[in-house]
Amino acid sequence: MTEDNKNEDSEKLQSYLQRVIALLSKYKLLEGFVHLQDDQDKTLADSSVQKKNLDELQQLLDKLHPADIAHILEALPLEDRLIIWGMVKPEYDGEVLLEASDAVRETLITDMGSQELVAAAEQLNADEIADLAPDLPQDVIEDVFRSLPIAEREQLRAAMSYPEDSVGALMDFDVITVREDVRIEVVLRYLRRLEELPDHTDQLFVVDREEHLKGVLLISKILVSDPDTLVENVMSREIITLRPGDKAQDAAYAFERYDLVSASIIDHDKKLLGRVTVNTVIDYIREKSENEALNLAGLREEEDLFAPVLKSVKNRWVWLAVNLVTAFVASRVIGLFEDSIEKLVALAALMPIIAGIGGNSGNQTITMIVRALALDQINSGSAWKLIRKEIGVSIVNGLIWGAVVGMFTFAIYQNIELGLVMMLAMLLNLLLAALLGVLIPMTLRKFGRDPALGSSVLITAVTDSGGFFIFLSLATLFLL
Amino acid sequence: MTEDNKNEDSEKLQSYLQRVIALLSKYKLLEGFVHLQDDQDKTLADSSVQKKNLDELQQLLDKLHPADIAHILEALPLEDRLIIWGMVKPEYDGEVLLEASDAVRETLITDMGSQELVAAAEQLNADEIADLAPDLPQDVIEDVFRSLPIAEREQLRAAMSYPEDSVGALMDFDVITVREDVRIEVVLRYLRRLEELPDHTDQLFVVDREEHLKGVLLISKILVSDPDTLVENVMSREIITLRPGDKAQDAAYAFERYDLVSASIIDHDKKLLGRVTVNTVIDYIREKSENEALNLAGLREEEDLFAPVLKSVKNRWVWLAVNLVTAFVASRVIGLFEDSIEKLVALAALMPIIAGIGGNSGNQTITMIVRALALDQINSGSAWKLIRKEIGVSIVNGLIWGAVVGMFTFAIYQNIELGLVMMLAMLLNLLLAALLGVLIPMTLRKFGRDPALGSSVLITAVTDSGGFFIFLSLATLFLL
């Protein structure tokens, strides 16, 4: 990576991708051409052109950062992806696997032999191997395990034991520890003996003989302190500590609020176990928010853009099935009123308006509440205030939009009563949406479920069936 | 902040919030009580209890981090929020304002006098003042501007000139620069003269006399290098540089991919302008993903949880209006087929199923495509592959779910033809959803629009109206 390569980063990356694709397609074209013709001279000439293309491609790949290679692999259809993957420097294999998304990683691992996989894993730290482990075949994990030094085996075992979404799963073991009774000068000499510091070392951890955490010594403090000072005089004792069992989400909030670069992880005895660094936290935040967006749209997990059709179907069917059930229920609600619709067919054309706007409004409320719940901003005292507010909003909206749909109805059907029924139904369905938009996520939360999952499906189900029921029964009561 | 306070972070924060609320309600209760009774003794006694509560509250607030205070303010209804805001240490005012969300910040600023605001702003750096500026009254900005030293005025002017969502808007000016021809020992002595380093200083910037960026000197490199080495021998020349006009999103990707703590910002002459640090990037990522979630649900911006009703209505009306229009269109599509519905009223009950599942399926496709577009993973070569894949998925889904709804229909209405029409309509609407689920975001992108905005509304509009049209016209053709 030269400075030029890195400047205007994203455009470069895009152009790398274009170049890879261009070189690859030239290569494949020639490959086909060679097979087609059996003329010896032609083959030789083409081979040399092809070789040039391949060399150029290889050079391009060799100078890319593993994260960029992973990005390019994600953007390529399976066949091309595997050609490029075969050309990646073996010493990058481990890091590229780490950087790739779960779905794409799977396709890359499937393409590798056990030995290659063991070699790739051995390039990584224990905490990184633990991240890959769920995707690796059992025999590869065992081989990797045997190849590790004892200390790292213990680390790998520990790292693999923490549940996903816990701080332990984000932990790394690259900590530098010092004692509190030494002088800064000694620390400096000690550091100089190391050839380099672990990435994201913004602080050293001050521990006693039993590894109990006493404080942290900021790197910047080392630099500005007199070399003769004792560590205990410049270390910070007010530190942020995490436990391996804490929720990863809470660690992310701590990094966000207190602007951390790294934070210590301790056990119940205050013994230092490891640390979390900001790069891991960023990856976690990004992945979490992406998964939320995917789940909201009814995709179970991140999908390889070029996944085979049946794999995609599997990733999407649950949501469609759930929605089909709620649609059947709504359909039966309408079925109850078939007599009314037969008498006044306009009802059929108007009812989706009430259901649709109710769903939109309910989803607005739910989004607000889910977000506030995630940030722990709602307590029993404020819940009532929120319900009152949302009901206020829905009354105002109900009157405004109710009047609009009422007038629309009158304009089309020249029927004042029908317009009034539309208006009333709109108001009532928005009230229902507001009330349940607050209560559904709060109830899910109360029963220990994640309110972000399922709230939206539930509210839409309620405002659909509820909207049809409210509108059609009002119409039956007042118009028929 | 003691270690204990920080440990098990989020629970603590939640308990602070509870304590603030409890103390506040005791305080307000007594306040009311004192007014109610005019007995001098009673008043005095209560005053002392009240004073104790207030003192306790004040002590609690004094030891909280500004980010935590902001968090608590967000969770309080307006009246309580302003009581607490009045008790916050004035020297924290600026930082609390920075940490609060836009909507809540507005309520806090409205509560402050010009002098207080100027004092608060003066505690901040130029880049931080620029972040607050859009919310500050003009006269306050002018006063702040006059109070700044010349150099900072220039910085403030620069920082305010960059558009939101550009790298310039994330820039800070806290850079330490060194020359390449000095020894590490000199750098160490220079650093020791500074009392502390700016937060997130993981590297010093190596510049020439004209401030052209030559490379970076990693702090960790300083620590492990021999003091006699020259800077030019240990500095990195392969560095990541950003331009103030680059998209903030691209900077975020660079931090994520290359695990950065800070990155330099240079102008077209390669002169060093400032830097971006990882904490700003995290805030940006978080805000961006939250705004996307809010926009998806039809909220224009982050809403104060306790916003007045009319403010909330304003925040939400655009989406409702747009959806009302699409609902009117769908309603008119149904209106075209009122004769058919009158003849076979089951159509009214069945049609929402076709429209609903089409919408769900289309949104699944769109979510995939929007995400891939955001990551620049789609190019003209792969677009066709994607369309083919999505059509494949929709055919499989159409056959499976079409068969299910067909059987459901037959079970209820004992009408085979009606079941077959349902099946065919489902298949066709899913095909429509797949095709437009790919084409809508790609077209929006082609015309320079953000595909994340509006794609979802458009696809739902198409699958609603399209679904009704497909189903009702098939029914009219084959059944009547």
Q: Closest by alpha carbon to A317, among B401, B427, B276, B306?
A: B401
Q: How far is CA B340 from CA A309, A342, B94, B140, B469, in A?
A: 37, 11, 66, 67, 12
Q: Is B410 an interface residue toward A (CB < 8 Å)?
A: no
Check B282 against A316: CB less than 8 A apart.
Answer: no
- Three-state DSSP string of B407-442: HHHHHHHCCHHHHHHHHHHHHHHHHHHHHHHHHHHH
> Which of B138, B165, B192 is the endpoint of a domain?
B165
Check A21 against B379: CB less than 8 A apart.
Answer: yes
Helix, strand and coil percent figures for chain B, each rounded to 5:
70, 5, 20
Check B393 against A14: CB less than 8 A apart.
Answer: no
> Mean of the pLDDT values across residues B278-288?
93
Nearest to A320 among B75, B355, B401 (CB): B401
How many structural domains compose chain A? 3
pLDDT tens, residue by residue, A385-428: 889 999 999 999 999 999 999 999 999 999 999 999 999 999 99
Q: Is B33 an interface residue toward A (CB < 8 Å)?
A: no
Q: Based on the fold, state whether residues A368 and A455 are members of the same structural domain.
A: yes
Q: Based on the fold, state whether residues A153 and A186 are members of the same structural domain.
A: no
> Mean of the pLDDT values across residues B23-50?
55
pLDDT attached to residue B235: 95
Task: Evaluate if residue A303 carries a pLDDT over 90.
Answer: no
Task: Evaluate if residue B298 carries a pLDDT over 80.
Answer: yes
> Mean of the pLDDT values across residues B252-272?
94
pLDDT tens, residue by residue, A216-238: 999 999 999 999 999 999 999 98
Task: Evaluate if residue B32 carries a pLDDT over 60.
Answer: no
Residue B285 lies in a domain: no
* % residues pLDDT > 90 (chain B): 64
Burial A281-294, CB ≥16 within 10 A → b, else e: bbbbbbeebbebbb
Q: Closest by alpha carbon to B409, among B421, B400, B427?
A: B421
Residue B271 lies in a domain: yes
DSSP 8-state code for residue B240: -
Residue B295 lies in a domain: no
Where in A177-315 does DSSP place strands (E)? 177-178, 203-207, 213-218, 241-242, 262-266, 272-277
Q: Provide the sign of the torsion angle of the four alpha carbons B378, B381, B387, B388, taken in this order.
A: negative
- Domain of residue A75, CATH code: 1.25.60.10
pLDDT attached to residue B8: 44
Residue B298 lies in a domain: no
pLDDT attached to residue B36: 40
CA distance A48 to chain B (A): 26
Q: Based on the fold, state whether residues B328 and B466 are members of the same structural domain.
A: yes
- B158 vs B140: CA distance, rounded Å: 18
Residue A301 lies in a domain: no
- pLDDT band at residue A380 using 50, 70 and 90 as cut-offs: confident
- pLDDT band at residue A75 using 50, 70 and 90 as cut-offs: confident
Q: Are A425 and A474 in contact (CB under 8 A)?
A: yes
Q: Is B2 an interface residue toward A (CB < 8 Å)?
A: yes
pLDDT attached to residue B29: 55
Q: Dihedrals φ, ψ of B176, to 5°?
A: -105, 125
> Mean of the pLDDT values across residues B68-78?
89
Average pLDDT value over all residues in chain B: 88
pLDDT attached to residue A404: 96
Residue B19 lies in a domain: yes
pLDDT attached to residue A11: 58
> Mean of the pLDDT values across residues A251-266?
94
Check A346 against B366: CB less than 8 A apart.
Answer: no
Supply the angle between the helices A309-335 and A455-479 in degrees, to the nearest 10: 30
> Mean of the pLDDT values across residues A171-176?
94
Q: Based on the fold, state whether residues B339 and B466 are members of the same structural domain.
A: yes
Q: Based on the fold, state whether residues A120 and A187 are members of the same structural domain.
A: no
> Mean of the pLDDT values across residues A108-113?
93
* Full domain range(s) for residue A147: 3-165
> Which of A266, A296, A326 is the endpoint of a domain?
A296
| Higher pLDDT among residues A469 and A30, named by residue | A469
State the number of CA atoms in the 13 A half-sphere of B455 facing the CB: 31
Q: Is A350 an interface residue toward B (CB < 8 Å)?
A: yes
pLDDT tens, residue by residue, B81-139: 998 999 999 999 999 999 998 889 999 999 999 999 999 998 999 999 999 998 999 99
pLDDT tens, residue by residue, B299-357: 887 888 888 899 999 989 988 999 999 999 999 999 999 999 999 999 999 999 999 99
* Burial (CB count within 10 angstroms: exposed 0-12, middle 13-18, buried 19+), residue B371: buried
Residue A342 lies in a domain: yes
Residue A464 lies in a domain: yes
DSSP character string of A71-101: HHHHTS-HHHHHHHHHHS-GGGHHHHHHHS-
pLDDT attached to residue B28: 60
Scanning B412-471 for CB atoms below 8 A from A yields 412, 464, 468
* Cα nearest neighbour of B241 on chain A: A7
- Domain of residue A319, CATH code: 1.10.357.20
Q: Based on the fold, state whether residues B323 and B236 are members of the same structural domain.
A: no
Q: Is B367 an interface residue toward A (CB < 8 Å)?
A: yes
The kind and range of the H/E element at B341 are helix B338-343
Q: Based on the fold, state whether residues B133 and B215 are members of the same structural domain.
A: no
| Sole residue written with tokens 């003989």 | A209
Q: Based on the fold, state whether residues A146 and A60 are members of the same structural domain.
A: yes
Q: Based on the fold, state whether residues B13 and B113 are members of the same structural domain.
A: yes
> Mean of the pLDDT values across residues B289-301?
83
pLDDT attached to residue B166: 94
- Domain of residue B196, CATH code: 3.10.580.10
Task: Give the residues across from A275 on adjacent strands.
Answer: A172, A264
- pLDDT band at residue A8 using 50, 70 and 90 as cut-offs: very low
pLDDT attached to residue A88: 92
> Mean of the pLDDT values across residues A317-343?
95
CA distance B303 to chain A (A): 8
Q: Based on the fold, state whether residues B320 and B275 are members of the same structural domain.
A: no
Q: Based on the fold, state whether residues A278 and A135 are members of the same structural domain.
A: no
Q: Based on the fold, state whether residues A449 and A368 are members of the same structural domain.
A: yes
Q: Closest by alpha carbon to A126, among A69, A70, A67, A169?
A: A169
- pLDDT band at residue B411 using 50, 70 and 90 as cut-offs: very high
pTM, 2 dp: 0.87
Q: Under DSSP, is residue A164 helix (H, G, I), strand (E, B) or coil?
A: coil
Q: Is A220 an interface residue toward B (CB < 8 Å)?
A: yes
Scanning A190-209 for CB atoms below 8 A from B yields 191-192, 194-197, 199-202
Scanning B293-322 for CB atoms below 8 A from A yields 293-294, 296-299, 303, 305-307, 309-310, 312-313, 316-317, 319-320
| Higher pLDDT among residues B181 and A295, named by residue | B181
pLDDT attached to residue A306: 87
